[in-house]
C-alpha cells in the first residue's frame, strides 16, 4: 500500500513541480519586466529549489563522449554487449584514426567493472569509468530497475547475481583470453563468491580482483548501515520494507525493496549536510554562481535517481552479508545455473591477484571490512596481494572525485599492469567435471549445505598507505616481509 501512496503523491506533485520550473524561468527571464524587480532573483531561486525538491529523477546517462589517451582525443561508443533480464553488460568501445593510439588501445587490458546494486544506478560510477577508459578496455554491469522487469522474467536472487558475474567473466575471457575485475561497494561480496566458485571448479579466473569499499566482513567497524541490519530481524525487513510494484509499471506485482525507501535512508544518514547543500544552492542561484549551481544539479541528478531491487535479492543480501556473515564464516552455499549447490571457498583462489581499497572516513563500509578479503584469500601468495587505505577519503571518494583520480587510480593501474601477464599462472591446472558452462537458469531452488572445510592460516599482505599531499611525489614502496606495513616515502620536488 505504501508504494501506491507514494506513486499517487508523486503524480499529484508532478504538475506543481513543472509549474515551479516555469515560474523560475519566468522570473529570471531578462525580457520579463518582473525580472527587474528587487526580489525577482529570490523568487526565481525559490521556485527553482521547489522544482528540484519535487521533481521525479529518472535514470541518468553515462554521457561519456570522448576521453584522452596519451593526449589524443578518443571517441567513445556505448553499447549493450549482453542483455539479461535484470542486467545489461555495457561496453564503452573506443575509436580513433591515429595509428599509434589505435595500437595502444588494442594492447591495453580489459576490465569488468561490477557496479553496485544497492539503490543507485551504475551511472554512479561515471567518473570511475571515464578515468579507467584512459588505459583500459572497459565493460560495466548496468543493473535494471526491478519495477521495469515483467513478472514473466521470474525471480532474481543473490545466487543469480553471482551467476551473472561468472557469465560476464567467461564472456570476456572468450574474447580476450583474460580479464580483470573491479568491484565497488556492494558487489565485492558476490564477486568474491563468483571467483571463488570458478576457482573451486578449476575454471580460469580473472587475472586480478580489485575490491573497493565493500562489506566483506560487516562485523568490523560497524557503521549505521551495518547496525540497522543487525538490530532488525529478517522478518522485520520482509514485513516493513518489501512492497509490490503498482499497476502502472511493467513489473506490476513484483515484490521489491522500493528505491524511494532506500533514498530516504541515504538522506536520513546525513540530513544536516543535505539541508545545507540545498540552502547553498538557493544562495548560489541568487548570486548567479552558475558553476556551483550546475555542480549541485549534476550531483543530485545522480544521487536522487534510485531503482527498485527485487525482494528476494535484497533480503538474501541482508541475511547473508549483514546478519549471518556466511562468507567469512565459511557457510555460504550458492546454486549455479545448472541447479548444483556449491560451497563458497575463497581459499581456493590461487591465480588471481587481489587488491583491496578502503577510505579512512568511509561511513558506509567501515575500516577493515574490505581488507578482510585478504584474510580469506589464503591461496593467493602474499606478494600478489595489496591493500590501499586512502587518507581523508569517504565512501564516494575512493571511486569518484579528486582522491580517486590522484591517489586510487594510479595504484590500481600499477596493480593491473603488474599482473597483466600472469595468464600462465592463472590458467586452471585441470578442467574438472564441476566446470559449469552457461546454461538457461533453472527455477528449482533447493539447497543442501555441505560441511565447510576449515580455512588455512591467514597471511597478512603487504599494505600500502598513500599520503595525500599535493606537493609530494609517491616513490615505490620498499620490499617488505608479509605482515609489515610499508609507508610511501614523500620527497618534495625541487624548485
Does residue 472 sit within a domain?
no
Does residue 457 sit within a domain?
no
Does residue 484 sit within a domain?
no
What is the pLDDT at residue 451?
43
Average pLDDT, the chain: 86
Q: What is the pLDDT of residues 342-367, one digit of tens each?
A: 999 999 999 999 999 999 999 889 99
Mean pLDDT value of segment 400-404: 93
Same domain, 135 and 204: yes
What is the pLDDT at residue 368?
95
Q: What does the alpha-carbon distance between residue 333 and residue 336 come to, in Å, rounded to a whole number?
A: 10
Does residue 477 sit within a domain?
no
Same domain, 221 and 345: yes
Does residue 420 sit within a domain?
yes
Same domain, 267 and 220: no
Does residue 25 sit within a domain?
yes
Does residue 245 sit within a domain?
no
What is the pLDDT at residue 473?
40
Same domain, 394 and 334: yes
Q: How many structural domains are present in the chain?
A: 2
Mean pLDDT value of segment 116-129: 94
The domain containing residue 276 runs over which residues?
Answer: 2-56+259-303
What is the pLDDT at residue 70?
86
Mean pLDDT value of segment 379-404: 94
Last residue of one domain, picked from the residues 388, 414, 429? 429
Prediction pTM value: 0.82
For 102, half-sphere exposure in the C-beta direction (CA atoms, 13 angstrom radius) is 5
What is the pLDDT at residue 227?
87
Same domain, 221 and 313: yes
Same domain, 339 and 267: no
Same domain, 276 and 221: no
The phi-psi region of residue 325 (left if phi > 0; otherwise alpha if psi is between -120 and 50; otherwise beta) is left
The answer to whether residue 437 scores a pLDDT higher than 70 is: no
Does residue 441 sit within a domain?
no
Same domain, 272 and 377: no
What is the pLDDT at residue 422?
52
Q: What is the pLDDT of residues 412-427, one digit of tens each?
A: 999 999 998 754 444 4
Same domain, 120 and 218: yes
Last residue of one domain, picked from the residues 387, 409, 429? 429
Last residue of one domain, picked from the residues 404, 429, 454? 429
Same domain, 52 and 190: no
Q: What is the pLDDT of residues 204-229, one digit of tens each?
A: 999 999 999 999 999 999 888 888 88
Note whether 319 and 234 are within 8 A (CB): yes
Same domain, 72 and 212: yes
What's the CATH number where 339 sits?
3.40.50.1820
The answer to whether residue 493 scores a pLDDT higher than 60 is: no
Mean pLDDT value of segment 113-137: 95
Q: What does the alpha-carbon distance between residue 481 and residue 462 come to, in Å, rounded to a whole number?
A: 7
What is the pLDDT at residue 482?
41
Geometric angle at alpha carbon 315, from 311 and 320, rounded to 5°? 145
Same domain, 277 and 349: no
Amino acid at each position: 500500500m505504501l508504494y501506491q501512496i507514494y506513486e499517487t503523491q508523486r503524480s499529484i506533485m508532478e504538475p506543481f513541480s513543472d509549474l515551479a520550473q516555469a515560474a523560475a524561468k519566468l522570473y529570471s527571464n531578462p525580457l520579463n519586466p518582473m525580472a527587474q524587480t528587487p526580489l525577482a532573483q529570490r523568487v526565481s531561486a525559490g521556485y527553482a529549489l521547489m522544482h528540484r525538491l519535487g521533481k521525479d529523477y529518472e535514470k541518468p546517462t553515462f554521457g561519456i563522449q570522448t576521453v584522452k589517451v596519451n593526449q589524443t582525443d578518443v571517441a567513445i561508443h556505448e553499447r549493450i554487449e549482453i542483455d539479461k533480464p535484470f542486467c545489461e553488460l555495457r561496453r564503452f568501445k573506443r575509436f580513433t584514426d591515429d595509428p599509434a593510439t589505435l595500437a595502444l588501445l588494442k594492447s591495453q587490458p580489459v576490465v569488468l567493472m561490477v557496479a553496485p546494486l544497492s539503490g543507485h544506478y551504475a551511472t554512479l560510477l561515471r567518473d570511475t569509468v571515464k578515468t579507467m577508459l584512459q588505459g583500459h578496455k572497459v565493460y560495466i554491469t548496468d543493473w535494471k530497475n526491478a519495477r521495469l522487469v515483467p513478472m514473466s522474467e521470474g525471480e532474481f536472487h543473490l545466487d543469480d547475481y553471482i551467476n551473472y558475474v561468472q557469465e560476464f567473466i567467461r564472456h570476456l575471457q572468450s574474447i580476450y583470453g583474460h580479464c580483470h575485475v573491479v568491484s565497488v561497494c556492494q558487489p565485492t561480496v558476490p564477486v568474491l563468491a563468483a571467483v571463488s566458485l570458478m576457482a573451486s571448479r578449476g575454471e580460469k579466473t580473472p587475472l586480478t580482483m580489485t575490491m573497493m569499499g565493500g562489506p566483506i566482513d560487516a562485523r568490523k567497524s560497524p557503521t549505521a548501515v551495518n547496525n540497522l541490519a543487525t538490530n532488525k530481524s529478517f522478518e522485520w525487513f520482509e514485513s516493513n520494507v518489501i512492497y509490490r510494484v503498482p499497476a502502472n509499471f511493467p513489473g506490476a506485482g513484483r515484490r521489491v525493496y522500493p528505491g524511494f525507501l532506500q533514498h530516504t535512508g541515504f538522506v536520513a544518514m546525513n540530513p544536516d549536510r543535505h539541508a545545507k547543500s540545498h540552502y547553498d544552492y538557493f544562495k548560489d542561484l541568487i548570486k548567479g554562481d552558475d558553476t556551483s549551481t550546475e555542480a549541485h544539479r549534476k550531483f543530485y541528478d545522480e544521487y536522487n535517481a534510485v531503482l527498485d531491487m527485487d525482494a528476494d535479492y535484497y533480503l538474501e543480501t541482508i541475511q547473508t552479508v549483514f546478519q549471518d556473515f556466511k562468507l567469512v564464516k565459511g557457510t555460504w552455499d550458492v546454486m549455479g545455473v545448472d541447479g548444483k549447490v556449491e560451497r563458497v571457498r575463497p581459499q581456493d583462489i590461487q591465480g588471481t591477484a587481489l587488491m583491496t581499497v578502503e577510505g579512512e572516513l568511509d561511513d558506509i563500509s567501515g575500516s577493515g571490512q574490505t581488507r578482510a578479503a585478504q584474510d580469506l584469500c589464503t591461496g593467493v601468495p602474499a606478494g600478489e596481494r595489496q591493500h590501499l587505505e586512502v587518507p581523508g577519503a569517504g565512501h564516494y571518494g575512493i571511486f569518484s572525485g579528486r582522491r580517486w583520480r590522484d591517489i586510487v587510480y594510479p595504484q590500481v593501474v600499477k596493480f593491473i599492469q603488474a599482473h597483466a601477464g600472469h595468464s600462465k599462472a592463472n590458467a586452471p591446472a585441470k578442467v574438472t567435471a564441476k566446470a559449469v558452462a552457461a546454461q538457461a537458469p533453472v527455477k528449482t531452488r533447493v539447497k543442501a549445505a555441505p560441511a565447510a572445510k576449515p580455512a588455512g592460516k591467514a597471511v597478512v599482505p603487504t599494505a600500502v598507505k598513500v599520503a595525500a599531499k599535493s606537493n609530494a611525489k609517491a616513490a615505490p614502496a620498499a620490499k617488505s616481509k608479509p605482515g609489515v606495513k610499508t609507508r610511501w616515502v614523500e620527497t618534495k620536488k625541487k624548485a
